[in-house]
Each structure stands twice: as structure tokens, then as C-alpha cells.
Structure 1
């Protein structure tokens, strides 16, 4: 009797907002073809208090969930620990897909990242003197250019608390890129992420665009790019 081979693993790493499986609403459907694991980064346990960023702990979570090896898919700040894991353990990473990666350590001296740092560094420096609501309000103004929505629920307040504890992504110990097959998908709306993507493209990554600003993975087009990239890796 012939047995089918086990499904290839795909590990999904979230950004700073939604986490775990909730961060990947379009990607649930991949479970029929892949062993999908939707991780929670350090400090994102739903029943625990928020904690300050620990890039090393995040990397360890990613590596642990890779097991004997698999594909990595990450969004925004989650791309930092995914890429760190791929640098540290490239033999475990079949491919790397990054949606709007905030790998700002790599582009710290390039114009868009430099301007972003200049705008946000005073806020990060003052975060211990601000409460969660004050930080949330100022972060929304500086990053989104819009007034913050009221913290109307316990979940909103928890997310604001977690946001205040996130360290600047440009402080991550990430200074080289892994030699693994890489797709970068950006929304074409923000020079900061385009700058990171263009940098990664110079190192061999494939760069594609999809709609929906900072969450291109939530569209048929963005999801389709991921599906095709994973399939090419399986048959390549």
C-alpha cells in the first residue's frame, strides 16, 4: 500500500497588530495542501501580559516551529525574526515570503528609513513617560498620519499596551540576508517598505506588488503570489 508524503510545513509570522491565525485570514485555505503553523511572537500570548520585544526569542519561536524544515511567511515586523531565523538556520528554510517587511536594520542609512527613524526616534525615547493611550495617539499621528481610534474595549487597550512595548525594528540584530529563495510583496503605498523591498531585490529576492497597502496578503492577488511561489518551490 502506497502512503502519501507528509504535507510540507509553512510557518506564518505576524506583525504588530493581529497575531496567530487571526493575522492570516486569507491563508487558512492553504491547510489542505500544507502543514500550516500560525505562530505567536514573544509577548503576544492572548492570556498573558504584553512584554517588550525580544528579537532573539522571536527567532527561537520561528526556528522551533520549523521543525525539520519548511517555508517561512512573514508580515511587517514579523519579517525581522523570520529573516533572522533564515540567516541562523538556512538549511531549515525552503523559501521565505515577506509581506511589507519592516527589516529596517538593513536599510538604516537609506533615505526613506532614515527619515522614518528621525520622525519616530523621539517617540520611542519618550515611551516610558507616556501611558498607552498617549503613545497610541502619537504613534497613529506619526505613522498613519491620522487620528487614533478610541480605545473602546479591553482588547483595544491590550493592543495599545503591546504596541508601546515594541522596540524599533531598526534596532534588530539583522545585518545580512540569508541565501534562500525569497519573495517580497509590497503594496506600493509607502516608500519605507519599497526601499526595503528594493534592497532585498538587489540581493536576489523577487519583488512583486499587490493592492491593499500594508496588508497585501489579504487580497486574492497577494495570496495568489504566495500560492504560486510556494508551488514553484515544491516543484523546483
Structure 2
């Protein structure tokens, strides 16, 4: 029997399979694809954020259809793909999603943007290391409590150099610039850690559009906890015809 596909879309703290340590176990029952967004690679040089290209990567990975699971800025890509091809998305799981375009006029999103906009305005005149250091300082509160060694803007636990990671951070587009719309008719779970008002504000907004919002522990990476991983697995099983393939 052909296994049901799940496409995993990473955030900024790691990429590919390394960004989803607890979700590897799902590969026994599902056809799991752990993507790399544009500019995230251990060999090729980092490149600027390309929201449209990332959405195409996700649509192509879905093939004839499957489930989407996305974290942080990866949620931007997942939502764009789901809006473009909702018929391919059986369910959508958004973990601490950075969907600031959807909540642009709400208090926490406004405060975050006002906090970061001056840095992005100076970006062209700054070197990678200087920009990354200031970005880490300004977003330090958003590193949050975590069960993972990687934070929102931290260096993932791999062999990448600090220079490569800094260059990638410097090239990331502000999340509030993403062209986002509400996903029509796709069962959606939004999972947050209950620790940062920005993500709770986004999740509460998505709940008004029909999404299910669950708060669990784990800081910015609740998917790394046993409870968070179980929530993802159960939600996908509940929206898979006949459950996961044997």
C-alpha cells in the first residue's frame, strides 16, 4: 500500500531532517519528506529569501497530495502553497507560525515589526556578522525556553560555520513582507508553546478562521517534546483516510 505523504517545512533553526528530530519516527507509517527551503544548504551558498520559490518546492513535494507540517518562518511557505493548491493539502499543522502578514495590525505583530524594522533598514550597509549579531540581540526574547539546542535565531546543531549561518540570517526577508492569505477549507492545527505573545496572537487569529489552537510546552519548538510530537501525529492520523498506512 502506498504511504500517505507528509511534507515538513523548517524554520530558521535548522533544515531538512535535522529540523525535525522527533518526527523521524513517523517515516515508519508515512512517506515523510523533510524539505530545504531556498538558501538552506550545507554546500551551496545562502541566497535571499524567495517566498514564491519556496512555495513551489512545497507544491512539488506534495505530489498527488498529502499533509503539511511547518515551523516558524516555514509556515509562510506552507500557507502560500496551501492557498495556491488547497486540493493537495489534506491537513495543515503550523508550529509557532511567523505569519505576521496576517496579523499586521494587531499589537504584538506591530511591536515586533517596530522593533526590527530599523535593523532591516540598515541591512545593506552592514556585514553579515554585524547584522546577525544585532538580529540575535533584538530577537533574544524570542529564543524562548526550548527543549532543543537551537533557538529561533541560533546556530543549529550541525557542522555549519558561524559565517555561513550569519550570511543566511542576513539574507532572510522580514516575515511581515510575505504575501499571505487565509487557507480555504483545509483542516488546520496551530501549536504554540504559550510563552510568547506574538505567536499566541497569530494562533488566536487563525483560530477565528477555523483553525484548532493547542498550547503545549516546549517553548519555540514544542514539536520536540513528547506531547507536541504526539499532537502532530494524532492530528494527521485523524485526517488520513483509514489512518496511517501499514
**Shorter-chain TM-score: what band?**
over 0.9
Change (3 A) 1:191 1:8: same
Greater RCO structure (CA 8 Å; 6+ sep) = 2
Query: Which runs of no fewer than 5 residues in structure 2 stay unpaired?
Result: 144-152
Matched, 1:195 2:191: no
Change (3 A) 1:115 1:228: same
Q: Map residues 100-179 of structure 1 onto 2, 5 A cutoff.
A: 100-145=96-141, 155-179=161-185
Match of 1:217 in 2: 223
**Cα deviation code 1:100-144 (max 9, x no counterpart):** 000110000100000000000011111111112111211111111
Match of 2:24 in 1: 28
- Using the alignment, how far apart are the partners of 2:110 and 2:203 within structure 1? 15
Deviates more, 1:212-221 or 1:140-149: 140-149
- Using the alignment, how far apart are the partners of 1:96 and 1:20 within structure 2? 18
Match of 1:94 in 2: 90
Query: Which runs of no fewer than 5 residues in structure 1 stay unpaired?
Result: none
Give the RMSD, CA atoms, in angstroms: 1.8
Q: Contact 2:80–2:181 (CA<8 Å) still a contact in 1?
A: no
**Cα deviation code 1:169-206 (max 9, x no counterpart):** 11001033332000000001110000110000000000
Q: Contact 1:76–1:99 (CA<8 Å) still a contact in 2?
A: yes
Change (3 A) 1:110 1:235: same
Deviating 4+ runs (over 3 angstroms): 145-150
Matched, 1:62 2:58: yes
TM-score after normalising by structure 2:
0.89
Aligned-residue offset at 1:149? 8.0
- Using the alignment, how far apart are the partners of 2:68 and 2:216 within structure 1? 19
Match of 1:183 in 2: 189
